[in-house]
Amino acid sequence: MKTAAIFLLSALSLSLTAQEFNREKLNQYFDLLEQEEQAMGSVALAKNGEIIYQRQLGFAHLADSVRPNAQTQYRIGSVSKTFTAVLILKLEKEGLLKRNQKLSVYYPEIINAEKITLKMLLNHTSGIHNFTDDESYTQYLSEPKSAEKLLEIIQKGGSDFEPGSQFSYSNSNYVLLSLIAEKAGQASFAELLRKKVIEPAQLEHTQVGKAINHKQNQALSYQWGNGYEPASETHMSIPLGGGNLISTPSDLCRFFYQLRGGKILDQATADAMLPEMGDSYGLGILSFPFEGRVAYGHTGGIDGFNSMAGHFKEEGLSIAYSFNGLQMDPNEIAIAMLSAYFGKDFKIPNFTSYAASAQELNAVTGTYSSSNFPLDIKVFVENDVLKAQATGQAAFVLKPTAPNRFEFTPADILMQFSPEKDQLTFTQMGRKIMFKR
């Protein structure tokens, strides 16, 4: 739920003529990922709403060696935001609220509430500070929080910029939208979502999540350390409509197919959710380009879970995945799935590893800072594994790939250390920043 990883799938120049779905190679690809423990979870592709490919990897519950199946539910993180946006637009259709309403109608105590519209909450242009960016967030994320306490936290966070002047992803926006929906709809968020979105779309395995119950076919999440280790579990009273749903890839394919086809909302309203020209984020929805085509959907990450779902309307193709454990960049998995479907060649990866000694790990530990980056990065050894933690963020495992070179591939992070110079070169999504220890 912390970030909206804008999915930019590689746009290569090669034109695609034949659409021969290379199932055999895609199966080989997933066989290798499972063998190398690169991913645990479930994936799906659907054509015109019908599942044409699905695959499960790894375990839903490691301690009991429970394998996932097509009905295993995963926390989908910020993919929940699209559902929340749809609910808000449905309530608007019923005359219970309006996109151009001011936040002050509902919560005048929030800074700039008289300037912020519900649409600004939907498209993250409100300026309201993202409370999950705060250092204190990791200290209480597993504890229940009342609506009053969440409002207090958001109110104290203040504003990062003048409303409407720029885009900045903030989970605070969708917590507020969830509470506004409850006020306007005079029912709980879970009940409103079930009656107005989930049941009309016939999503049998989608619901507002509670504490994870693996005995009810719900996956636990894991992070890589000395093998896969249990990740934290966010209390679902905190993300609300910003990240509190559980679902399956097949349900997500069905949802986005119906949404883009004007079956959940009328077509004009559904199209109004799309990003405006030059933007990548609309009303709870993202654009995902691939080979001259564009899908619309959302990504999500919460605890050790990582999800994505979207629909290519012209091609009638839906794609979704939900992982509960990852060592690699999930974007690469999406590219492989789409390449296999559209008849484009893709590489079977060669996973190589480098065994760093304890001396090498200890040589790069410390706290690194940069004038070009707002957060410090603490690098430390825990249980013989190197980890990094930015201020206010969760720690993540750094995998050695060469001397003084470490990666966290799920977030496309590369860290190249120069311990003799007390330097760290941090690279992510093509952006390179120099840090000093």
Give yes or no for a contact between 358 and 406, defined as CB atoms under 8 angstroms apart: no
pLDDT one-digit tens code per residue, 83-94: 999 999 999 999
pLDDT over 50 (residue 205): yes
Range(s) of the domain holding residue 184: 1-59+71-346
Percent of the chain clearing pLDDT 70 (strictly above): 96
pLDDT over 90 (residue 18): no
Whether residue 175 sits in one domain with residue 46:
yes
Confidence at residue 172, expressed as pLDDT on a 0 to 100 scale: 98
Whether residue 251 is contained in a domain is answered as yes
Domain count, the chain: 2
Confidence at residue 19, expressed as pLDDT on a 0 to 100 scale: 59
Give yes or no for a contact between 279 and 100, defined as CB atoms under 8 angstroms apart: no
Whether residue 337 is contained in a domain is answered as yes
Confidence at residue 4, expressed as pLDDT on a 0 to 100 scale: 41
Whether residue 138 sits in one domain with residue 52:
yes
Query: In the structure, what pLDDT confidence band is assigned to residue 431 with cuts at 50, 70 and 90?
Result: confident
pLDDT over 70 (residue 15): no
Whether residue 25 is contained in a domain is answered as yes
pLDDT one-digit tens code per residue, 79-126: 999 999 999 999 999 999 999 999 999 999 999 999 999 999 999 999
pLDDT one-digit tens code per residue, 330-386: 999 999 999 999 999 999 988 877 889 999 999 999 999 999 888 899 999 998 999
Whether residue 311 sits in one domain with residue 270:
yes
For residue 188, give both structure tokens: 């709980």
Whether residue 252 sits in one domain with residue 180:
yes
Whether residue 407 is contained in a domain is answered as yes
Whether residue 351 is contained in a domain is answered as no
Average pLDDT over residues 10-31: 68
Average pLDDT over residues 217-226: 93
Which one has a higher pLDDT value, 427 or 411?
427
Average pLDDT over residues 157-181: 97
pLDDT over 80 (residue 1): no
Whether residue 34 is contained in a domain is answered as yes
Distance of CA 131 to the CA centre of its chain: 16
Whether residue 201 sits in one domain with residue 269:
yes
